[in-house]
Chains A and B, each alone.
Chain A
Amino acid sequence: MAAEATAPAPRKSAGRRLADFFQGRPRLTVAALLAAPIGWLVIGYLGSLGVMLAASFWHLNELSGEVVQGFSLDNFDTIFSDEVYRTITFRTIGVAAAVTVTDAILAFPIAFYMAKLAKPRMQSMLVVAVLLPLWSSYLVKVGAWRLMLSEDGAINWALEPFGLHGPGYGTVAVWLVMSYIWLPYMIIPIYAGLERIPDSLLSASEDLGARPGRTFRKVIMPLTFPAIVAGSIFTFSLTLGDYITPANVGDKQFIGNVVYSNFVANLPLAAAITVIPIVVMVIYLLVSRRFGAFEHV
């Protein structure tokens, strides 16, 4: 025993010593592991948000147009008292809601077919088909729609034999293009939600005498509703912040356009305007949570 105790301990490697250090200190282990991601989240992500919120209280020097870093409520006063910002806010929220509803209606049948009816081979092909458009540049897609919607474009050409005329550039065009671009973000969550429903539940409903319509209303809908809400968060928030589509195929401004046109000339005002979609999204997320959208995303 004594001989063993006096024998020189083998030299430990640095890694080994580090491992020993964390041994029996679970909290420290967790802290060390999470330091980098939490640091990024707090400093890089929330920090920039904080700077932006602080900037919304700054204002401009009249003569040189330089930013003066001091507290003032001028920007919020402008946003609340000027009718145009209200109009733009309601227009943006309206289109975001319309896009969300449109995408939900379009996505559900596709997702249902993918999850419940398609054979495995077909299923994977459809998943690829849905995701494929996301691999091409967003700008290219908007540019293509701009050409299609133009006066001499494909849509007017196709409608002409029926004596019809396309929507041209405007809010309707923005709604169309946004619905197209964000559709995959709705299909995938609904598809995931539907896949989670065991087929046996549907059979049970049928066995108990429910017609397909009733099965849909009483079994499928309640179970997939959180997934639809989860998808709607994507379509709604993405529409809310977008400025490229309205700039290319719209004729009126959206919140994003006002931020874009101000963020160089009048950064504080742009920061203050950005508070609008943040508030809207916080309300939206709180409501979504009520519907259980976060329970299994």
Chain B
Amino acid sequence: MSYAHRYPARFAWLLVLALVGVLAVAGCGGSDDDSSSDEVTSIGKTEGALNLIAWAGYAEDGSTDKTVDWVTPFEKQTQCQVNTKTASTSDEMVKLMRTGQYDGVSASGDASVRLIEGGDVSPIDMSILSNYADINPSLKDQDYNSKDGMNYGMPHGWGANVLLYNKDAVKPAPDSWGSVFDPAMASKYSGKITAPDNPIYIADAAVYLEATQPDLGITDPYELDEDQFNAAVDLLKQQNKFIGEYWPDATKNISSYTNGDSVIGSSWQYQTSALQAAGENVDADLPKEGSTGWSDTWMLSSQADHPNCMLEWMNWMGSPKVQAQVAEWFGEAPANLGACDLTSDPKHCDTYHAKDEKYYDQIAFWKTPISDCGDDRGSECKTYDEWVQAWTEIKG
């Protein structure tokens, strides 16, 4: 009798083990690394299709709301058939971009640096895109959309993380992040404080520490060395006691304020406007310490099958008319200030402080934390995956 017959169970296990071994070896095969940094300097003939990764609401084709559609006119004009894959986190966007199946992405700063460093996106000579000239100069050549003097895409729009509070429960109106970080103040709203469920929120604690504990010497909330990082993490662990919920998406954040589960916390202007429109007695402000914010950029994949369609799309998204549409639909400040005259709500740009440079200067925009501190400290800084692990520890 064969071995397999005498010891069927043992044989089965051996088989499985052998298979796992084979797969492990196969999985360890060479990883392809084709980081091309050749600058794109011209637009050619469009390829007839375009595969995008975007935040929900960034590429509307009329299927959500018939009147909200800037994809169909683009398709008519360029003959590029647009397929949009909606991603819900920056991590997901990076993952999807690395599959090489997409032509471009609307990357936030916490994704874009990773994409640039990983060679997943191509630098572009922005003068080939006619609408780039009208983009708000504050959004150009930033850490999150350029590297070594090369530009990596078209700014899309931006927003600040604001302190959203329920006016009935929080009196007087808060003007400091201390109301969610300082135990003496935060304990008043224990169990009803909310914060975004996102590792990048560690930067918000760093912004508060930058103002309140100058000894730590924080200059950039995304470039934190060991001591600064630990101080921010400790502050957040302390805050955890008072947190009712870490909000995973804007819809849940809104429902928590509507149902009385949250009364104060970091949020976006979008939620504030939505809640006010629904008749909730809430307001939001930019605390005196300043805040964090996001600024998104349309980027071109270095493995794009339809690069010319993507370049056309970038230019399309930078045009004043589309900027006005998307800024109002999504609830953000447009990157092209020409959009301010075209919004259906004439006060849109004021609400979102699109032209307010003093406001803009108080915001530290998201970028991926990397080990290079960007100053004489060298490569001491905590990397994004350390931020992710710390976030697990903070939430407990």
A: which residues have CB within 8 A of B?
A: 42, 46-47, 49-51, 53-55, 60, 62-71, 78, 82, 84-85, 87-88, 147, 150-153, 168-169, 247, 251-253, 258, 261-262, 264-266, 269
Picked from B29, B260, B389, the residue with its CB within 8 Å of the CB of A151 is: B260
**Which parts of B215-255 form the interface with A (CB within 8 Å)?**
243-245, 248, 255
Distance in angstroms from B229 CB to nearest chain A CB is: 15
Picked from A68, A88, A152, A251, the residue with its CB within 8 Å of the CB of B259 is: A152
Q: Is the CB–CB distance between A265 and B393 below 8 Å?
A: no
Q: Is the CB–CB distance between A54 and B28 below 8 Å?
A: yes
Q: Is the CB–CB distance between A54 and B19 below 8 Å?
A: no
Q: What residue in chain A is nearest B396 (Cβ atoms)?
A: A252
Q: Is the CB–CB distance between B391 and A261 below 8 Å?
A: yes
* A123 CA / B245 CA spacing, docked (Å): 43
* A50 CA / B23 CA spacing, docked (Å): 7
* A247 CA / B92 CA spacing, docked (Å): 18
Give the 3 A-B residue pairs with the shortest CB-CB distance, closest first: A64-B118, A50-B20, A151-B260
Q: What residue in chain B is nearest A49 (Cβ atoms)?
A: B20
Query: In the complex, given contacts A69-B27, A168-B244, A262-B388, what are 18 additional A-B residue pairs having Cβ atoms less than 8 angstroms apart?
Result: A47-B19, A53-B24, A54-B23, A60-B385, A64-B118, A69-B29, A84-B396, A87-B396, A147-B259, A150-B256, A169-B244, A251-B244, A253-B396, A261-B388, A261-B392, A264-B94, A265-B199, A265-B388
Distance in angstroms from A118 CB to nearest chain B CB is: 40
Q: Is the CB–CB distance between B243 and A251 below 8 Å?
A: yes
Q: Is the CB–CB distance between A169 and B261 below 8 Å?
A: yes
Picked from B19, B31, B95, the residue with its CB within 8 Å of the CB of A46 is: B19
| CB contact under 8 A between A266 and B388, given known A62-B371, A65-B118, A69-B31 | yes
Distance in angstroms from B302 CB to nearest chain A CB is: 13
Distance in angstroms from A47 CB to nearest chain B CB is: 6
* A152 CA / B261 CA spacing, docked (Å): 8
| CB contact under 8 A between A153 and B259, given known A66-B98, A69-B27 | yes
Q: Is the CB–CB distance between A54 and B396 below 8 Å?
A: no
Q: Is the CB–CB distance between A150 and B95 below 8 Å?
A: no
User: How many contacts A-B (CB < 8 Å)?
Assistant: 114
Distance in angstroms from A257 CB to nearest chain B CB is: 8
Q: Is the CB–CB distance between B384 and A265 below 8 Å?
A: yes
Distance in angstroms from B8 CB to nearest chain A CB is: 14
CB-CB under 8 A from A69, the residues of chain B are 27-29, 31
Interface centre among B95, B371, B392 (most CB of A within 10 A): B392
Q: Is the CB–CB distance between B19 and A50 below 8 Å?
A: yes
Q: Is the CB–CB distance between B118 and A66 below 8 Å?
A: yes
Q: Is the CB–CB distance between A151 and B28 below 8 Å?
A: no
* A53 CA / B388 CA spacing, docked (Å): 21
15 contacts between A and B (CB under 8 A): A42-B19, A47-B23, A51-B23, A55-B27, A60-B385, A65-B114, A65-B383, A71-B28, A150-B261, A251-B243, A261-B388, A264-B91, A264-B95, A265-B388, A269-B385
Q: What residue in chain B is nearest A264 (Cβ atoms)?
A: B91
Q: Is the CB–CB distance between A84 and B27 below 8 Å?
A: no
* A55 CA / B24 CA spacing, docked (Å): 8
* A85 CA / B384 CA spacing, docked (Å): 19
Picked from A169, A252, A264, A269, the residue with its CB within 8 Å of the CB of B395 is: A252
CB-CB under 8 A from B20, the residues of chain A are 46, 49-50, 53-54
Confirm or deny: B274 has a beta carbon within 8 angstroms of a beta carbon on chain A.
no
CB-CB under 8 A from A168, the residues of chain B are 191, 244, 261
Confirm or deny: B16 has a beta carbon within 8 angstroms of a beta carbon on chain A.
yes
Q: Is the CB–CB distance between B388 and A258 below 8 Å?
A: no
CB-CB under 8 A from B31, the residues of chain A are 66-69
